[in-house]
Amino acid sequence: MSRAQTRSPLLDLAFGYMPAQMLHAAAELRLADAFAGGPRTSAELAGETGAHAPSLLRLLRGLTGLGVVEQKERDLFALTSEGQRLRSDAPDSIRSLIMLFCGPAVWRTWGDMTQTLRTGEYAWERATGMTPFEFFESDANAELSKTFNAAMSEHTRAVAPGIIEAHDFGRYGTVADLGGGDGTLIAAIVRAHPGLRGMLFDRPAGLAAAPGTLAEVAERVEIVEGDFFEKVPGGADAYVLKSVIHDWEDGKATAILRNCRAAMRPDARLLLLEQVMPEIVTPETQGIVRNDLNMLVCTGGRERTEAEFRELLDAAGFAGVSLTGPVQPFGYHVIEVRPGG
């Protein structure tokens, strides 16, 4: 077959924005929620979602090709098992993740990647007029802040079981989760270890949903408001930073780590829960490479190799670096360190 007759796989990649926006539209309409009770017609679903029925029929056909719905008759559709994950009330929901990462702010930011590649300056502030954390703490973006927090919670809920299995949290008396948002991770840790106490530390916007998340373990988890760029609370045996260091360039990442070091007793431990960039990437490691590019355009941060983590931690006054992982399903590592001498 000649080159002219071969369909290039690059075309499927180039048009990858189409399924992403189809999923975003379905998530924004809460289409999966409208399937409660069984198969539905486009008119029934339009009535539930406020959509235009003939247009919605066309989206449903597209979602059939993505495995989100199954077409039973000409105009009768059922939600698939994978489509159930778009339900807002599903235990393994990814609706908020799709709303965040396929939503307008991230969409515009990725659209400005070329300028980031020319300048090295991340695109989020150019696209929105604010840094990411200013953006999600703005009163004007309160609903998007809820989506951001819910998306982080969805991802953490999927990661937590593997992390808890990979590391012996039971050896500590108190674990502090720094930048822990609504408390999904620390709640899972203390539930797994009945003798353990927890501390949840974050800025007020991040902690907004924490009381609800921590309701079952409220007596064992202290909620502390603060900013890890200013000070980290003392008194814990282990300090956890999950997906925090990758948000920041080296200077700010080192500042966070030094504040952790200042708060820690000599026998305390710092646990970074991060993905680790391989020195040589392959098609199988493209997930972390895309995460790295997302950090490039959205926050100015980065995913780091083991050597880069070791250098960063050494500069911040830590020693005894050990790595556990990768932990499935997302390839996180537990990077354990102690205060240096």
> What is the token pair recorded at 294?
């997302």
| DSSP-assigned letters across all residues of 121-166 | --SHHHHHSS-HHHHHHSGGGHHHHHHHHHHHHHHHHHHHHHHHHH
Residue 61 phi/psi, 5-degree rounding, is: -60, -40
Q: Which residues are catalytic?
A: 246
One-letter identity of residue 219:
E
In 210-327, which ranges are E strands? 221-225, 238-242, 269-275, 318-327
As a whole number of angstroms, the distance between CA 41 and CA 130 comes to 42
CA distances, 197 to each of 47, 154, 266, 281, 299 (Å): 48, 23, 19, 39, 32
Q: How far is Cα 250 from Cα 185, in angstroms, rounded to an integer?
A: 25
